[in-house]
Amino acid sequence: MSDLLLEVEGLRKSFSGVAALREGRFSLRAGSVHALCGGNGAGKSTFLSIVMGIQERDGGTIRRRGRPVIFGSPKEALANGIAIVEQELSPIPAMTVAENIYLGREPVRWGQINFRAMNRAAQALLDDLGFAIRATDLMMDLSVAKVQLVEIAKALSYDAEVIIMDEPSSALGEHEADQMFDAIRTLKEKGKGIIYVSHRLSEIFDIADSYTVFRDGAYVGSGALANVTRNELIQMVVGRPLTEEFIKENVPGDRPLLEVCGLHAESGVFDVTFEARHGEIIALYGLMGSGRTEIFERLFGLSPDRGGEIRIDGQAVRIASPKDAKRLGLAYVTEDRKGSGLVLTGDVRSNICLAELGKLSRGPAMSTRAEARAARDMIQMFGIKAASDRLDVSGLSGGNQQKVVLAKWFLTEPRILLLDEPTRGVDVGAKREIYRIISEFARNGGAVLLVSSETDEVLGMADRVVVMRGGRVAGEVTRSDMSAETLVHMAA
Ligand SMILES: Nc1ncnc2c1ncn2[C@@H]1O[C@H](COP(=O)(O)OP(=O)(O)OP(=O)(O)O)[C@@H](O)[C@H]1O
Ligand SMILES: [Mg+2]
């Protein structure tokens, strides 16, 4: 029997006349991790959803172990040994972890769902994977990272031969990602094939054996990762060479813009002190749960004052609500773009103008024109790939949705940017654009607080790193002393 688990050729798909996929080609061997690479909107998710029977193809062939197949639904794909962890998660919030994992195939006893058996099976699965999650917890009580881990556990519970993972790490911290990588290595040893999508190149070189690149909906190339350099891969993805991945043009000034003194916050932030100067990019680094997001929530007035002082330009300020925060020039890009950043049912224009409604609405006619202009500027500034600004955000690729969230906040002309995973799901070319925008913002005197689980990004962009551990500041590292080892060591 051949070890080719999956072969795809000439796969095509258009959405209302616009080609999303022109020539999808791919092959997957048993016992390998194959990275599917490509920029935002290159057609990766479209390709995978056709393979999985979620969407219909316009043309092309798919062979499963040499046999031509077309799956009419994910259920059929699953029955043929293919499971997926989708890019956009859709858990049922009011259900438990176990119910989500076994949805539609619950163990039954005497005509009733056997909850005890189901909870036991789910817990065994989670424990096996080393995921610290209780099977009886409600999905709505879990962090984004844990929801992601549950989705991974669910895909693995089918014991499929082919496992597709569409950006599984984008919501995970370093620690959770390591747990997932361990799980992937075990699957590989068992002879399974894993299709892995990620915009994090370090990760790809770490975990994958082979790669395939799509660009503008078409196959560009494939091979063994051992035979390609990081720069060569970037060039295939972007279509031209990138001389450097990071753009950093800001130089920190002397005057503090934001001072945080002895700050306490709900859910475990204790006595946190640091400052960000005009023109400075500060990274808050730490494991998930180390208090980074909680600091942002306190600074943006989303959680109550529990003590400590916040000063802006030397003046003590009170931030009791997001309205206070915005008035003081803060903007907050949250880690969960669907939960708090984006209105998926709204179009690109209204989403971009969402945070700035006050400034733009001076009479209905004016507002439409001002909105249209503002949206156009932002679409250009961020290079948002959308056919029209009246298109629903849900039709954009993941990375382009992220850019809409950033654009929305830049429009408020903030002085202090709180960025929680700002390049999540953003491709290597667009990341560079975002770095340029962030460093230009700092160069013009703004201060940036950056939370990122991508160590490369912290090292590439931060002037100083405040390392958090268990809700406290574990130490500070300046740019000249930064290394991945130092940061990981201090945070653990
Ligand atoms: N349901 C849809 N309706 C209309 N257009 C769509 C739809 N789904 C995808 N597209 C378009 O198809 C193209 C490919 O999108 P796709 O989501 O496959 O990209 P991707 O490679 O997964 O990108 P990303 O890295 O950002 O996730 C994009 O231009 C996207 O806007
Ligand atoms: Mg995608």
Q: Do 343 and 354 meet the contact criterion of CB atoms below 8 Å apart?
A: yes
- CA 451 distance to own-chain centroid: 12
pLDDT exceeds cutoff 60 at 237: yes
Tokens (6 digits) for 459: 């090292």
pLDDT band at 13, cuts 50/70/90?
very high
pLDDT at 213 over 70: yes
Measure the CA–CA gap between 466 and 20, rounded to whole angstroms: 42
- 341: containing domain: 256-491
Task: Let me know whether 221 and 268 are in one domain.
Answer: no
Residues within 6 Å of ligand 1 by CB: 15, 20, 38, 40-46, 87, 395-399, 427
| CA 424 to centroid of ligand 2, rounded, Å | 12
Identify residue 235 by its one-letter amino acid code.
Q
- Among 77-81, 204-208, 279-283, 333-337, which is the least confidently predicted range? 333-337
The residue from 238, 270, 298 where one domain ends is: 238
Flag whether 244 is in a domain: no
Question: Among 397, 424, 427, which residue has the most ligand 1 atoms within 8 Å of its CB, making it the best to mutate?
Answer: 397
The answer to whether the beta carbons of residues 245 and 234 sit under 8 Å apart is: yes
Q: Could you write out the three-class secondary structure of the chain?
A: CCCEEEEEEEEEEEECCEEEEEEEEEEEECCEEEEEECCCCCCHHHHHHHHCCCCCCCEEEEEECCEECCCCCHHHHHHCCEEEECCCCCCCCCCEHHHHHCCCCCCEECCEECHHHHHHHHHHHHHHHCCCCCCCCEHHHCCHHHHHHHHHHHHHHCCCCEEEEECCCCCCCHHHHHHHHHHHHHHHHCCCEEEEECCCHHHHHHHCCEEEEEECCEEEEEEEHHHCCHHHHHHHHHCCCCCCCCCCCCCCCCCEEEEEEEEEECCCEEEEEEEEECCCEEEEECCCCCCHHHHHHHHCCCCCCCCCEEEECCEEECCCCHHHHHHCCEEEECCCHHHHHCCCCCEHHHHHCHHHHHHHCCCHHHHHHHHHHHHHHHHHHHCCCCCCCCCEHHHCCHHHHHHHHHHHHHCCCCCEEEEECCCCCCCHHHHHHHHHHHHHHHHCCCEEEEECCCHHHHHHHCCEEEEEECCEEEEEEEHHHCCHHHHHHHHC
Q: Which of 238, 272, 289 is the last residue of a domain?
A: 238
Using alpha carbons, list the distances in angstroms from residue 176 to 63, 137, 144, 173. Answer: 34, 18, 11, 5
Residue with tokens 């099976």: 121
Neighbours of 3 (CB within 10 A): 12
Which residue from 157, 168, 14 is spatially nearest to 88, judged by alpha carbons? 168
Task: Report pLDDT digits (tens) over 192-207.
Answer: 999 999 999 999 999 9
- In a domain, residue 138? The reply is yes
Residues linked to residue 272 through DSSP beta bridges, in sequence order: 263
What's the burial of 43, exposed, middle or buried (CB within 10 Å: 0-12/13-18/19+)? buried
Q: Which of 90-104, 280-294, 464-478 has the highest mean pLDDT?
A: 464-478
- Ligand 1 atom at shortest distance from the alpha carbon of 399: 26
Span 141-163, mean pLDDT? Answer: 91
Name the least confident of 276-280, 352-356, 407-411.
352-356
pLDDT score at 477: 96
Q: Are residues 407 and 446 in the same domain?
A: yes
Return the best residue to mutate from 12, 37, 45, 50 for the ligand 1 pocket (most ligand atoms within 8 A of CB). Answer: 45
Tell which of 238, 267, 302 closes a domain: 238
Does residue 292 lie within any of the structural domains? yes
Q: Are residues 302 and 449 part of one domain?
A: yes
Ligand 1: atom nearest CA of 386 is: 31
Q: What pLDDT is stored for residue 357 in this prediction?
A: 62
* Ligand 1 centroid to residue 402 C-alpha, Å: 13
Atom number of ligand 1 nearest to Cα 16:
4
Please state the length of the chain. Answer: 492
Query: What percentage of the chain has pLDDT greater than the value 70?
Result: 97
Residue type, 349: R
Q: Across the chain, what does the average pLDDT equal?
A: 91
- Residue at 435 is within a domain: yes
Give residue 340's pLDDT. Answer: 62
On whether both 168 and 65 belong to a single domain, the answer is yes
| pLDDT value at residue 224 | 98
Same domain? 201 vs 280:
no
For the cut 90, the answer to whether the pLDDT of residue 94 exceeds it is yes
Q: In the predicted model, is pLDDT for residue 307 greater than 60? A: yes
Highest mean pLDDT among 166-175, 336-345, 443-452: 443-452
Instruction: Inform me whether the pLDDT recorded for 358 exceeds 70.
Output: no
User: Residue 336 has what pLDDT?
Assistant: 74
Residue 1 scores a pLDDT above 60: no
The pLDDT score that the predictor gives to residue 425 is: 85
The CATH number of whichever domain residue 461 belongs to comes to: 3.40.50.300
| Judgement on whether residues 301 and 160 belong to the same structural domain of the protein | no
pLDDT of residue 104: 87
Which amino acid residue places its CA nearest to atom 18 of ligand 1? 43
- On whether both 184 and 299 belong to a single domain, the answer is no
Q: With 0-12 CB in 10 A as exposed, 13-18 as middle and 19+ as buried, what is 196?
A: buried
| Tens digit of each residue's pLDDT (9 = 90 or more) over 113-145 | 999 999 999 999 999 998 999 999 999 999 888
For 253, counting Cβ atoms within 10 Å of its Cβ (0-12 exposed, 13-18 middle, 19+ buried), the class is middle
C-alpha distance from residue 305 to each of 16, 209, 262, 298, 318 (Å): 51, 49, 12, 7, 9
The residue-averaged pLDDT of 428-444 equals 91
Radius of gyration of the chain measured on its C-alpha atoms: 23
CA dihedral 203, 208, 211, 217 (to 10 degrees): -60
Q: Find the 396 Cα to ligand 2 centroid distance in Å.
A: 9
- Smallest CA separation from ligand 1 atom 17, residue: 397
Residue 486 confidence (pLDDT):
93
Highest averaged pLDDT of the listed ranges 123-137, 340-354, 384-398: 123-137
Residues 52 and 192 in one domain: yes
Bridge partners of residue 221, in order along the sequence:
213
* CB-CB contact of 144 with 420 (8 Å): no
Does residue 146 belong to any structural domain of this protein?
A: yes
d(CA 413, CA 451): 20
Same domain, residue pair 158 and 227: yes
The answer to the question of residue 249 being in a domain is no
Q: Rounded to an integer, what distance in angstroms lies between the CA atom of residue 181 and that of residue 200?
A: 14
Q: How many domains does the chain have?
A: 2
Distance from C-alpha of 368 to C-alpha of 370, rounded to nearest angstrom: 6
- More confident call, 283 vs 404: 283
Evaluate whether residue 245 is within a structural domain: no
- Answer whether residue 413 is part of any domain: yes
Closest CA to 166 of 109, 90, 94: 90
263 shares its domain with 205: no
The residue-averaged pLDDT of 175-182 equals 88
Position 106 pLDDT exceeds 60: yes
Residue 468 and residue 327 in one domain: yes
Does residue 77 sit in the same domain as residue 18?
yes
Q: What is the pLDDT of residues 24-57, one digit of tens each?
A: 999 999 999 999 999 988 999 999 999 999 999 9
Give me the residue label for tokens 């770095």.
435
